[in-house]
Structure 1
Amino acid sequence: MRILAFVIALIASAAVARAADELPIFDAHMHYSHDAWSVVPPHEVVEILKKAGIKRAMVSSSNNEGTKMLQDAAPGLIVPELRPYRSRGEISTWARDPTLIPYLEDLLSKRKYRAIGEFHIYGADADLPNVRRVVELAKQYGLYLHSHSDADAVTRHFQQDPNARVLWAHSGFERPEKVREMLRRYPTLWCDLAFLTAHVSNGKVAPGWRELFIEFPDRFVLGSDTFTPERWHYVIENARWSRQWLSDLPPEVARKIAYENGDRLFGGGQ
């Protein structure tokens, strides 16, 4: 009887492992910026995404031509996101650039996007006029704000628009207690998990984060963050690693984080 129970347990464990290995992924944090175009051409990006088992990818780029190139190559695969950077050097200057808002308004009038971001902003800088206008544009066009920020800046987004829909980039950099506090306070806040590495060890999720995922299974999405051209060569490995730690969660929670939340939030048209 014990041997039979052991065999059944092994079969069940193998079935769970196979299901995790086959989990499709919605990657909500990818970039295809100007310095990646010649290193990883659009057709190679599409092949990488397919080999990684990524069913949809939300992509932004500096400048935004990279997103358009990928969307033209695989419209059913790419979810377009409008980034307020025309080159890498604008990460620290965009919030004070007087030419930025006309640039964004022009692009928004010509193409459809699902989010504005990923943009970097911290603390009181979230109250600068450019950032306030970005919050207004997101409201006007029904877009998500993909904000690489501290909790202070995220709070300021919601002070400017209590109904803003915010995707908090790299929320794994924060303490789980703080993320829990923010998710309880703001029902239209979601978190991307790009670079969650510090909270996963040997395929196991750290206790504080595990409880957080189970409490808020509808509020997290995955992201690989291809912020440099070289990162594209790690997309398949990152997807494999994500499936490994997701297998440590209840299957219904794993499915939501892997792709169901991304589909629900970003997958549809405007």
Structure 2
Amino acid sequence: MLTRVLKFCIAVVPVLAIALVVSHFAAPIDPALAQGGNPKVKALIQSLSRSERQDFMSLSGPERREFIQKLMQKRRGGGSTPSAKSAPTSTATPQVPTANIDTSLWRGPIIDVHSQVDQRTDLSSIVPMLDQAGVSVSLISTRFKQPSSDILNLAKQHPDRIIPTAKSKTKPFMKGFPTWRKYLNTELQRHPYRAMAEIIMWHAAKRGVGAGKAVIEPDDERVAAMVEAARKFKWPYIVHIEFAAMGWDKRDYMAKLETLFEKNRDVQFGMIHLGQLEVPDVALLLPKHPNLFFITSHANPISKRHSGSPWSEMFSGDEFTSKWGKLLLQYPDRFVLAFDNVFAFHWEDAFLPQVELWRKALAKIPDGVAHAIAHKNAERLWRLEPAKPVGAYASTSGQ
């Protein structure tokens, strides 16, 4: 009997000790994701680095499940979690998913004015994916602890395809630490950025932990500093505000935001994700503020399936809804296309289907309006060279 007890203690005590250590350093695991304590899922999460777990916990429930499924597939296939820091520098074209090309798709060039990469994004796959989708140029920033050098180096290798954008999503900036201004000035002076990434002004708390509510008022000194940087470099200022999640604060915040637009008429403001606004609000804002335009990222059913957030919805099937379609025709120079890939699985799973959906919808509106939304407005606002068709779209696209 004593021998059995000793064997049990020898087997169990080390496991309990390891579990205590892991639970101290690891982010909490979503009970729904753990599927009743699934040890394989827990082991996968615990195998991530601390920063990777923080990114994981910032995802919504559907995004977490998507990530776990993708990671399990990679592990079963003998692969490892892709890392941007260890992305190969080989010039060989990696295998990436292909977009179906048919005559129902609009054939013109596309510029993606806002996307991001995290530490799991395989940087070597980005340009091949742009080729597959027929996306001529993408403006990309890194996220949080991901070094800006990663995207700066990629832009050096592909200067006509990748435009590096300066990020503000750093801990000093978001928390308002005294060092934020020095960091910002150093970044802008040291590196050859050609645009500015989104400024998080009102971000809703996401399910789980690790991505709490973030609010920066329109009259905050950090906003003023970023507006001044946009003015100095002649860059659009990209506003990230989630009005649909704001509730009772919407009216007061909107009033302050409109004051910001009015006081800075010489700066172009782009509201990413349409600000989670619907047609009536957008229709009111556009004639009032000639320096405001809307960025269409996440406003589609594919993106909404990957997130529990209340993004705007521009589509009915594979065409624009009647209300959004009318607004696009009324203000063709005030809408700009973007996809805002954030995490690796956005690039891997959602990017190509979204581009295909957009091409189907663009084919159903006047060609001049389609060109304006897909690339010409971006060329004007960011002072870019005219986009050239790429990949399989190069031989059949009209300008």
Match runs of 1:157-196 below 5 Å: 157-171=260-274, 173-196=276-299
CA distance in 2, matches of 1:172, 1:250: 25
| AA matched with 2:168 | P
CA distance in 1, matches of 2:320, 2:225: 38
Q: Per-residue deviation at 1:156? A: 4.0
Aligned residues: 245
Where structure 2 has 5 or more consecutive residues not aligned to the other structure, the ranges are 1-101, 203-214, 244-253, 301-312, 386-399
Q: Deviations over 1:153-206 (max 9, x none)?
A: 642432442221111101162011211221111112111100111220211211
Of 175, 185, 199, which residue of structure 2 is paired with 1:105? 185
Alignment TM-score, normalising by the size of structure 2 = 0.57
Which of the two has greater helix per residue? 1
CA distance in 1, matches of 2:260, 2:151: 25
Task: Specify the SS of the correspondent of 1:18.
Answer: coil
Q: Per-residue deviation at 1:230? A: 0.7
Match of 1:231 in 2: 346
Larger radius of gyration: 2
1:219 counterpart = 2:334: yes
Alignment TM-score, normalising by the size of structure 1 = 0.82
| AA matched with 1:79 | I
Q: Per-residue deviation at 1:51? A: 1.0
Match of 1:132 in 2: 224
| AA matched with 2:111 | F
Q: Deviations over 1:230-258 (max 9, x none)?
A: 10112222111110111221121111111
Task: Specify the SS of the correspondent of 2:342.
Answer: coil
Match of 2:320 in 1: 205
Q: Per-residue deviation at 1:49? A: 1.0
| Contact preservation (8 Å) 1:113, 1:143 | no
| Contact preservation (8 Å) 2:139, 2:163 | yes
Q: Per-residue deviation at 1:48? A: 0.8
Where structure 1 has 5 or more consecutive residues not aligned to the other structure, the ranges are 1-16
| Contact preservation (8 Å) 1:55, 1:77 | yes
| Contact preservation (8 Å) 2:261, 2:292 | no
| Contact preservation (8 Å) 2:163, 2:195 | no
| Contact preservation (8 Å) 2:169, 2:200 | no
Q: Per-residue deviation at 1:95? A: 5.8
Match runs of 1:24-35 below 5 Å: 24-33=109-118, 35=119
1:60 counterpart = 2:176: no
1:77 counterpart = 2:161: yes
CA RMSD of aligned residues (A): 2.3
Of 342, 363, 383, which residue of structure 2 is paired with 1:247? 363
Q: Deviations over 1:1-56 (max 9, x none)?
A: xxxxxxxxxxxxxxxx73744222111121123x23xx41x221111111110001
Match of 1:12 in 2: none
Match of 1:118 in 2: 198
Task: Specify the SS of the correspondent of 1:28.
Answer: strand
CA distance in 1, matches of 2:298, 2:275: 7
